Chains A and B, each alone.
Chain A
Amino acid sequence: DSGVTQTPKHLITATGQRVTLRCSPRSGDLSVYWYQQSLDQGLQFLIQYYNGEERAKGNILERFSAQQFPDLHSELNLSSLELGDSALYFCASSSSTGEGETQYFGPGTRLLVL
């Protein structure tokens, strides 16, 4: 168990809908990262938050947004869902900004868009 929790574990929804994925980092970790794993794109970085502020952006679509709350949990919002958004979404956390330190991954949320 990495100490990073994600809910829900599975999500099935329809095209055009909106969903929210939740992540709680390890106790004391200030950085939260979101990654997407799809069959065709592999594991890709979406966005990083550090202590409530956006730190870095990767290949995140405009239909996707995220935030980190004062208690350091994070939410990833996916809207106007398309079939291609079906993927495994991972949250990871690290104690600081990520340089020279281990990132610990949660169990993932498996999203299926029908």
Chain B
Amino acid sequence: GIQVEQSPPDLILQEGANSTLRCNFSDSVNNLQWFHQNPWGQLINLFYIPSGTKQNGRLSATTVATERYSLLYISSSQTTDSGVYFCAVKLDYGGSQGNLIFGKGTKLSVKP
């Protein structure tokens, strides 16, 4: 099946630093989403980005579908950015199945 690999698995930053999280996927997809899971367990939608670039405040994401990767940029990190960031994809040939396949996540800790 499709492989979704995220790197790095763990990241420790000082407040104010910038970071780049990467998601590689092994097959063609028609849906890619980035999520932030906060320390309370909530999964928060960040981006729906099967291709192209989007920005939302200090966060931005880029997906290059032809090269099968996506990047999540976090600028001027804050302690509230701490948590686990997940990339999830849906196969292009998944047919009627709409389910997302998740990577293992990047655990981010932002120190004050």
Do these two chains interact? yes
Q: Which residues of A contact B (CB under 8 A)?
A: 2, 31, 33, 35, 42-45, 48, 50, 55-56, 58, 88, 90, 92, 94, 97-105, 107-108, 110
Interface of A is mostly: strand
Interface flag for B56 (CB, 8 Å):
no
Q: Is the CB of A103 within 8 A of B100?
A: yes
Interface flag for B57 (CB, 8 Å):
no
Interface flag for B104 (CB, 8 Å):
yes
Given known contacts A99-B31, A99-B90, A100-B30, A108 and B42 CB-to-CB distance under 8 angstroms: yes
Given known contacts A58-B99, A98-B97, A98-B99, A107 and B90 CB-to-CB distance under 8 angstroms: no
Question: Given the complex, which residues of A lie within 8 Å of B52, measured CB to CB?
Answer: none
Q: Determine the residue in chain A with the shortest Cβ distance to B91.
A: A99
Which of B86-103 touch A at CB < 8 Å? 86, 88, 90, 94, 96-102
Interface flag for B33 (CB, 8 Å):
yes
Residue interface mask B15-48, A partner, CB < 8 A = 1:
0000000000000001101010000011111001
A-B contact list, 18 entries, CB within 8 Å: A42-B102, A42-B105, A43-B102, A45-B101, A48-B97, A55-B98, A56-B96, A56-B97, A97-B96, A98-B97, A98-B98, A100-B31, A100-B50, A103-B33, A105-B35, A105-B43, A107-B41, A108-B42
List 9 additional A-B contacts (Cβ < 8 Å) besides A33-B99, A92-B100.
Answer: A2-B45, A42-B104, A44-B102, A50-B96, A56-B98, A98-B90, A99-B94, A100-B30, A103-B33
Question: Given the complex, which residues of B lie within 8 Å of A107, measured CB to CB?
Answer: 41-42
How many angstroms from the CA of A100 to the CA of B33 in the assembled complex?
Answer: 10
Question: Given the complex, which residues of B lie within 8 Å of A92, measured CB to CB?
Answer: 100
Q: Determine the residue in chain A with the shortest Cβ distance to B48.
A: A102
Question: Given the complex, which residues of B lie within 8 Å of A108, measured CB to CB?
Answer: 41-43
Which of B43-73 touch A at CB < 8 Å? 43-45, 48, 50
Which 5 A-B residue pairings sit nearest by Cβ, starting from the closest? A98-B98, A56-B97, A45-B99, A43-B102, A102-B48
